Structure 1
């Protein structure tokens, strides 16, 4: 048994307890609609507002079959890069409001324009709907802006960012980099953090399997790179990649494996495991010192990659 009393500090425990008071650990046993209501309420309780100087505009990307809502954050008259952001939520939760303040702060601290993408959710829209929307968002950004495009996302959103990176190799406007925050990339559940942190606070392997089943329905998509980027057999020519994971999270080994495969293929990748951190700690960036430091790492990574720098 992993001794979380030793790994997790008092500030983080307070964050976990606060989160559980809004979003109980057994939430996956509720209906999808109930889960969404619980999650949305929790996000509202953690909402930190916008930093001074940030504006946001809600718009939509039109596709032949549907519109994809987006929110565009600006802090400077003329940004020098675009951050395309995909939110977390297990592919069934979240939207423009769930990560609203995170995107606003990323915009203000980096100085870049941030575009948050409200991709379609399961079970109403099973895989590959979310991936298709992520690709449509990239195509829209590449056609709308003449600026470097960075892909960024947390958890399920990190999965989508990575899947887009794999799918856009060779594109004339290929992403200049990707920053993945505790992403789920379809790793081997029989080893590593999937075993040592199977019952971690905030996210368990049971949760992960529930989300995976809802996203895929009755199909086995474990070998589909658009669903599980680690299933790819070619990790060459991917954009410079920074992966930041939480130590107390079953998904942490996905970050390690992904970084290793990119590096082995001759690419640039850097993986950092935040000690004592748990899944979803972005919401703790104002109350937990370790989370605050990690958010600074995320901002610094985005800033460097958009400039074409590789300080790792």
Structure 2
């Protein structure tokens, strides 16, 4: 495997973010019991949590029976279904409070964050079913433009929901941040960034096994959107990946598949950033700039403008 020298590729602000994450959730924490890993992840999210912007109201609700948290700006012009990260095994509604509230404030869109079930207690397709059910319910509850967005595992779920929702709901767009979409894990970025900070190739393989209860998944687009054979009819799509991330090529390949089917898609690989960079948006200028581009794209999609 090729390995990348990250000493100069990653700037000091991002390195400090990486060190902060490692202090709260060390790389070897995967050997700990799952409840301890979750507690450490929650502590990390609290440590990186930003003050919530003024003018956004929070309310816990259920959509289709799935627990969700609603972030309502003063006058919402549409809706975003947000699916959190955490490798399908970590993450809570509370963990993404600041991210979701900032999206709502920056875009004028209400955000509905979905508390989908986690593996290994609930293996695939539980998280996908929750994400799809909640998305359909949000579409019924709030007329107007509807977008899907998510990070990490949540981005993977969002893409699978977009495929499954064709013909059922009209989506104004989807924004996928650092998704793993089922690409070839024996080539490209999976090898050149196999030992990247924050997420390595072995982490991807381990998390996939955990999500599927140790069973290798079939060619199932409800698990991995790149496994689909039909990419027609998908909404305008923006995929944002980090350069220092083994999953980055999945973003490029997904863009290419949508474009080959006649759809609209754009892929941006953020130089020098790492998996999970959204939580560095108040700590590293590169992450802040990327987050600003993401919120701008969401607002544009809701208004029917091209990605």
* Separation (CA, whole Å) in 2 of partners of 1:222 and 1:3: 35
Residue 223 of structure 1: how far off its partner (Å): 1.1
* 1:220 is aligned to 2:222: no
* 1:267 is aligned to 2:263: yes
Q: Provide the TM-score with structure 2 as the length reference.
A: 0.97
* 1:41 is aligned to 2:37: no
| Mapping of residues 3-152 of structure 1, within 5 Å | 3-63=5-65, 68-76=66-74, 78-152=75-149
1:227-253 CA-to-partner distances (Å, cap 9, x unmatched) read 011001111111000000000000101
1:160-207 CA-to-partner distances (Å, cap 9, x unmatched) read 100000001122x32110000011111100111100001000001111
Residue 69 of structure 1: how far off its partner (Å): 1.1
* Separation (CA, whole Å) in 1 of partners of 2:40 and 2:106: 30
1:288 aligned partner: 284
1:203-225 CA-to-partner distances (Å, cap 9, x unmatched) read 01111111111110132214111
Count, aligned residues: 305
* Separation (CA, whole Å) in 1 of partners of 2:218 and 2:193: 21
The CA RMSD over aligned residues, in Å, is: 1.0
* Separation (CA, whole Å) in 2 of partners of 1:38 and 1:290: 26
Q: Is the 8 A contact 1:28 1:210 kept in 2?
A: no
For structure 2, the 5+ residue unaligned runs are none
* 1:204 is aligned to 2:197: no
Residue 295 of structure 1: how far off its partner (Å): 0.1
* Separation (CA, whole Å) in 2 of partners of 1:185 and 1:308: 26
2:189 aligned partner: 193
* Separation (CA, whole Å) in 2 of partners of 1:222 and 1:206: 20
Q: Is the 8 A contact 1:186 1:222 kept in 2?
A: no
For structure 1, the 5+ residue unaligned runs are none
Divergent runs of 4+, >4 A? none
* Separation (CA, whole Å) in 2 of partners of 1:61 and 1:271: 31
* Separation (CA, whole Å) in 1 of partners of 2:56 and 2:77: 16
* Separation (CA, whole Å) in 2 of partners of 1:218 and 1:206: 14
1:167 aligned partner: 164
SS at match of 2:36: helix
Q: Is the 8 A contact 1:54 1:108 kept in 2?
A: yes
* Separation (CA, whole Å) in 1 of partners of 2:225 and 2:301: 21
Which of the residues 151, 156, 163 maps onto 2:153?
156
Which of the residues 300, 309, 312 maps onto 2:305?
309
SS at match of 1:259: helix
Q: Is the 8 A contact 1:79 1:111 kept in 2?
A: yes
Q: Provide the TM-score with structure 1 as the length reference.
A: 0.96
* Separation (CA, whole Å) in 2 of partners of 1:47 and 1:253: 29
